[in-house]
Amino acid sequence: MKFFIDTANLDQIREAQSLGVLDGVTTNPSLMAKEGIAGKKNILNHYLEICKIVDGDVSAEVISTDFEGMVKEGEELAALHPQIVVKVPIIKDGIKAIKYFSSKGIRTNCTLVFSVGQALLAAKAGATYVSPFIGRLDDNSTDGVELIGQIVDMYNYYEFDTQVLAASIRHTMHIIKCMEMGADVATCPLSAILGLLKHPLTDIGLQQFLNDYNKLNK
Ligand code: G3P
């Protein structure tokens, strides 16, 4: 299972990268705005900064909602750096754009996915990744993790190459449950990644080891 960090914050990306277990980054327009990144030049530069920090895939989202606009933006993003994956929403023109990008060898992340039917269309169009938003489903009284399982099963059954990228992850149990469902990737806030480290018995055990060592090694 690959780990992506879901942020545009460079310090958090550096911290996750320093752990040595980071496989990539996902961003979206809201995450970019949260960092105060505005204007085309600044946005493109920010993606380049992220690519310098990590070795893996960096999802950069298009703003256009029409086919021509998505293609123009996506080609520009893809040309920016080989690590860039063009993030495209699951709307009618988005599917057309994903199909186009796929025919040109441009990798895509199909975003804002909330149903197995949307995931089917994304895979048929040739998306590299599909991003079901599990936290937002949970917020709406629907089991997001269950959707991950449905998509994984459907992709396995039909042997689609599209990777299931569990997004909108809020906490460590989301990561564990997505792993159990067979998600290819989990894109997580830094807090959820670091949360996986936590266990009181680890803290107690380590303290005991250090105490015992210090008794004989002053
Ligand atoms: O990057 C897309 C997704 O992970 C957004 O998460 O927390 O805004 O629902 P969230």
Could you tell me if 22 and 3 are in contact, meaning their C-beta atoms sit under 8 angstroms apart?
A: yes
Q: Give me 82's structure tokens.
A: 């080989």
Atom of ligand 1 nearest to the CA of 167: 4
Output the residue whose Cα is nearest ligand 1's atom 3: 168
Q: Give me 23's structure tokens.
A: 């496989």
Dist CA 25 CA 141 (whole Å) = 28
Q: Could you say which of 2, 87, 124, 218 is catalytic? A: 87
pLDDT at 8: 98
Q: How far from the centroid of its chain's Cα atoms is residue 92's Cα?
A: 22
What residue ranges line ligand 1, CB within 6 angstroms?
6, 26, 28, 133, 135-136, 167-168, 187
Q: How far is the CA of 169 from the centre of ligand 1 (A)?
A: 7
Could you tell me if 84 and 60 are in contact, meaning their C-beta atoms sit under 8 angstroms apart?
A: yes
Q: Where does the pLDDT of residue 32 fall: very low under 50, low under 70, confident under 90, or very high at 90 and above?
A: very high
Distance (Å) of CA 206 to CA 156, 193, 200, 202: 42, 21, 10, 6
Q: Where does the pLDDT of residue 218 fall: very low under 50, low under 70, confident under 90, or very high at 90 and above?
A: confident
**How do residues 135-171 score in pLDDT, each as one tens digit?**
999 999 999 999 999 999 999 999 999 999 999 999 9
**How do residues 80-121 score in pLDDT, each as one tens digit?**
999 999 999 999 999 999 999 999 999 999 999 999 999 999
